[in-house]
C-alpha cells in the first residue's frame, strides 16, 4: 500500500488528471488509466509505445452514450415536439462545434495528451470530450452523467445569468427552417388537444 501511494505521488501526470477530475468533473476516478486514455490523442502515442491505447475506441463509445443521454433529455424536455424537431435538436447539440465549445469550457486541453497543433478549427478537444464521456460511462455508469452530477456538465450547459440552462438549449433552434417549425407546431398542438380532451369533457359535464 505504501508503495502504491508513493508511485501515485511520484507520477505528476496522474496526479494532475486526478485533481482535474475532482475539481472539474466533480468525481473521483475509480479507474484512472481509463481517464488518461480518454485524454490521449493518437498523435501522442509514440512509435516505441505501440501498445499504449489512444482515445479513439472510447470516443466511439462516448458518442453513442451522448446520443442516448441527449435523446432522453430532449424527449423529456419537449413533450409536445415531434421526431423531426428532436432529431434536429440532437444533431445540433452533439455537433462538433458544440462539443468543442463544451470541451473548452471545462478546459480539457489542460490535461490532454496531444501533439496536434491547437487551432480553433481542431476537432481534437471535442473528440476527447466524447472519449471522456465513454470513460465516465465505463467507470461510473450512465447515471451520474445523465443526472448531471458532474459540475463540468452542469456549468457547460448553464451559461452565466441563465440558472435554468434554457438559453443553451434554445441556441441551436436558430437556423431551423420556418417550414419545419410550422410542422412541429402543428404536431404539438395536436398532442395538446389529445391530452386536454378528457379534461375538457369533464369540465363541460360539470357545467351542464
The C-alpha angle with vertex 145 and arms to 148 and 138, in degrees rounded to 5, equals 165
Joined together, the cell numbers standing for residue 137 give 460511462
List strand residue ranges (DSSP E) for 23-180, in order. none
Q: Which residues pair with 113 in a beta bridge?
A: 40
For residue 113, give the 3-state DSSP assignment.
Answer: strand
Question: What distance lies between CA 136 and its chain's CA centroid?
Answer: 11
Helices 2-10, 12-20: axis angle to 10 degrees equals: 90
Distance CA(207)–CA(88), nearest Å, equals 43
Yes or no: say if 58 and 134 are a contact pair by the CB < 8 Å rule: yes
179 counts as catalytic: no
130 counts as catalytic: yes
Computed from CA positions of residues 105, 106, 109, 112, in that sequence, does the dihedral angle turn out positive or negative?
A: negative
Question: Catalytic pick from 63, 80, 109, 183?
Answer: 63
Distance CA(204)–CA(208), nearest Å, equals 6
Question: Catalytic pick from 54, 113, 130, 184?
Answer: 130
Active site residues: 63, 130
Amino acid at each position: 500500500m505504501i508503495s502504491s501511494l508513493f508511485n501515485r505521488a511520484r507520477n505528476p501526470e496522474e496526479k494532475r488528471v486526478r485533481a482535474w477530475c475532482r475539481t472539474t468533473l466533480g468525481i473521483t476516478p475509480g479507474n484512472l488509466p481509463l481517464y488518461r486514455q480518454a485524454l490521449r490523442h493518437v498523435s501522442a502515442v509514440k512509435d516505441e509505445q505501440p501498445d499504449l491505447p489512444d482515445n479513439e475506441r472510447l470516443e466511439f463509445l462516448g458518442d453513442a452514450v451522448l446520443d442516448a443521454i441527449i435523446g432522453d433529455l430532449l424527449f423529456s424536455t419537449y413533450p409536445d415536439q415531434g421526431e423531426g424537431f428532436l432529431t434536429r435538436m440532437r444533431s445540433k447539440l452533439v455537433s462538433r462545434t458544440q462539443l468543442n465549445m463544451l470541451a473548452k469550457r471545462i478546459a480539457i486541453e489542460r490535461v490532454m495528451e496531444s501533439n496536434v497543433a491547437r487551432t480553433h478549427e481542431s476537432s481534437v478537444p471535442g473528440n476527447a470530450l466524447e472519449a471522456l464521456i465513454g470513460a465516465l460511462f465505463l467507470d461510473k455508469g450512465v447515471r451520474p452523467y445523465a443526472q448531471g452530477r458532474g459540475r463540468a456538465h452542469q456549468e457547460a450547459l448553464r451559461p452565466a445569468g441563465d440558472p435554468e440552462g434554457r438559453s443553451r438549449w434554445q441556441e441551436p433552434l436558430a437556423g431551423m427552417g420556418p417550414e419545419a417549425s410550422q410542422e412541429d407546431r402543428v404536431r404539438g398542438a395536436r398532442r395538446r388537444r389529445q391530452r386536454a380532451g378528457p379534461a375538457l369533457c369533464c369540465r363541460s359535464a360539470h357545467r351542464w
